[in-house]
């Protein structure tokens, strides 16, 4: 039952990770900071990133769905454990849920690899022509650290879902029928 509660919490954390990405990380792909050389001063400005990847708009829906599925399977695993406690539950249902959790964990990790390798925009510096002057654009201060932190935490969450599903599978296999 503890691992089922852990799965529910992990599902909530996966959705929370997406909310953090949408609120504090994704904007860094859209805005950069550059210094515009003036006659005797530099002017700072924020400009839209010219890169546009349609998958960057589709990926959040996939990741959100995975979080909701982890949450739902955690609830189902919890109900299964409660039913088994009163002698009504079926062992095969618990094994199937555990296998589903393992697959969901692997898909979450895979979706992050897919995001980092193919969906994500290049977040390095680039040059933009502004009023006939080439301006070097850089990510906003602190954004790269938020991005890296989000990637690490999200990857660990995916591994935690995978590990929790594995624990549930081992427990379900070890119970007598």
Q: What is the pLDDT of residues 59-73, one digit of tens each?
A: 889 999 999 999 999
The predicted pLDDT at position 40 comes to: 47
Domain of 117? Answer: 2-29+52-122+141-174
Question: Would you say residue 47 lies in a domain?
Answer: no
Strands 126-130 and 31-37: unpaired
How many distinct structural domains can be found in the chain?
1
Question: Would you say residue 80 lies in a domain?
Answer: yes
Question: Would you say residue 84 lies in a domain?
Answer: yes
Question: Would you say residue 83 lies in a domain?
Answer: yes
**Average pLDDT estimate for 89-101:** 78
Question: Would you say residue 149 lies in a domain?
Answer: yes
* Burial of 86 from C-beta contacts in 10 A (0-12 / 13-18 / 19+): exposed
Structure-token pair, residue 39: 């006659």
Conformation bin of residue 87: beta by default, left when phi > 0, alpha when psi is -120 to 50: left
Question: Would you say residue 135 lies in a domain?
Answer: no
Question: Would you say residue 69 lies in a domain?
Answer: yes
pTM, 2 dp: 0.81
């Amino acid at each position: 039952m503890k691992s089922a509660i852990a799965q529910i919490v992990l599902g909530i954390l996966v959705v929370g990770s997406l909310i953090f990405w949408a609120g504090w990380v994704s904007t860094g792909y859209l805005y950069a900071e550059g210094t515009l050389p003036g006659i005797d001063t530099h002017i700072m400005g924020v400009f839209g990133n010219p890169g546009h990847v349609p998958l960057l708009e589709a990926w959040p829906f996939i990741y959100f769905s995975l979080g909701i599925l982890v949450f739902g399977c955690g609830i189902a695993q919890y109900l299964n454990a409660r039913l088994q406690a009163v002698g009504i539950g079926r062992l095969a249902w618990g094994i199937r849920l555990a296998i589903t959790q393992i697959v969901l964990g692997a898909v979450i990790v895979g979706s992050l690899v897919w995001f980092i390798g193919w969906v994500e925009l290049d977040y390095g510096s680039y040059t933009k022509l502004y009023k006939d002057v080439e301006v070097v654009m850089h990510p906003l201060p602190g954004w790269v650290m938020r991005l890296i932190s989000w990637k690490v935490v999200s990857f660990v969450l995916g591994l935690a879902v995978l590990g929790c599903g594995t624990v549930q599978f081992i427990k379900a296999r070890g119970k007598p029928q």
